Amino acid sequence: MLVLARGGLYPEGSGCAKGCVMTLPTLRASDHLHDVRYEIRGNLARRADELERAGFEIIKLNIGNPGAFGFRMPETMRRAIVENLHNAEPYCHQKGIFPAREAVVMQQQDRGVMDVSADDVFIGNGVSELIMMCMRALLNPADEVLVPCPDYPLWTASVTIHGGKAVHYQCRPEANFEPNIDELASQITDKTRAIVVINPNNPTGAVYSEQTLRAIARLAEKHHLVMFADEIYDEMLYEGAKYVPLATLVKDTLCATFSGLSKVYRACGLRVGWVSFSGERTHAKEYLAAVELLASLRLCANVPGQWAVQTALGGYQSIFELTAPGGRLYESRAVLLDAVARSKYLSVVAPAGSMYAFIRVDSKLIPDFDDQQFALRLLEERHVLVAPGSSFNVPYVDHFRTTLLPDAKMMAKVFDRIEATLDDMAREKAAQ
């Protein structure tokens, strides 16, 4: 307990009676946050900031932030924002401006999702806000949501913070990080409300087969579950990988498809995402009204950035140049795969999509390897920040995630530093 006195705060009983005016109880965080984690921007990231303030140059590979590595959004998007600034001063409709929502509809229809109108689309301040809104509208205490393991940790957090229980279905490295459908089915209970699918996947880079997606869709339909499809990396694909929109396979239950401008269009700072609802909706009117209520309570999403949506989705798709041979993302991925192949310690399931690789360290060569300790040491000694694999709600501690955002030259430097750190750790273990 602290006591407020003239000149500052003092421990209770420290002799500050003269001039003491009141005591302050400890200001505690909400119980809703007890099991909520987001370690991608946790203690390691805070330590990286401290090192930067001390003058060190840190290569930050913990988060998918294209602009920090020199990627730019298409110029046409910037022009669309600037030319429509005069339209961006008032609040817009709680679901978003019509041209942006209609552009999402046209994209969905081009992909074969024909049962979507502008009324079925909500624009948000990034996908993150929409995930939270959709979970808040759905969940009651003790409700369960099936979430992939590994997952993007916001999904687990969004379930937990709203009183639900995240039930993780395993996507194992030996299965190329695709789920086992029989295992997934066995985890469905009378408390299950929804299934989350992240495809292309963050953190693993997996791109699910149509067979897998179709099987998940049938489970959702059979048990009347909401299907949440996180597809923000939809066009970020390598070496012929095929992305199948989950909404094309879900007909007899509600499907929510999430995407946005942050990744494919390299415009994280605009904070523009969307969710489009398709599939069976007659049974979901109350739920969709709740989503709209939550959208109304926050008035509207960032308006200037919404004016870039129509231009982005309807314009030239420059992402294909970046992911094709010779493109920057493709070449950085190639350097990463070559470095892992040459490493004494590392292995990886080659990412078929997204902007990440989920890399395994051979714990036989470095006994008692711990991903958190490794990540901290790599940061402190060689100034590279990666995300420990355990940040993604996995039960093992022998993985880490890195982005594909550095250029090829920097990527090679990063893996030289990773290998040197692992060499040091292996020597120390051998000497014990």
Task: Find, among 126, 91, 132, the residue nearest to 290 by Cα.
Answer: 132
pLDDT in tens, 65-124: 999 999 999 999 999 999 999 999 999 999 999 999 999 999 999 999 999 999 999 999
HEC string of 39-86? Answer: HHHCHHHHHHHHHHHCCCCCEECCCCCHHHHCCCCCHHHHHHHHHCHH
The full length of the chain comes to 432
- What number is the average pLDDT over the span 317-344? 98
- What number is the average pLDDT over the span 298-308? 97
In the chain, the domains with their CATH numbers are 39-70+321-431 (3.90.1150.10), 75-314 (3.40.640.10)
Over 90: is that where the pLDDT of 329 sits? yes
At 304, list the tokens. Answer: 């200037």
DSSP assignment of 197-253 equals EESS-TTT-----HHHHHHHHHHHHHTT-EEEEE-TTTT-B-TT-----GGGT--SS
pLDDT category at 41 given cuts 50, 70, 90 is: confident
At 31, list the tokens. Answer: 């119980």
Over 70: is that where the pLDDT of 10 sits? no
Task: Find, among 389, 347, 345, the residue nearest to 367 by Cα.
Answer: 345
Residue 371 confidence (pLDDT): 97
pLDDT in tens, 367-421: 999 999 999 999 999 999 999 999 999 999 999 999 999 999 999 999 999 999 9
- Give the chain's mean pLDDT: 94
pTM of the model: 0.92
DSSP state, 20?
-
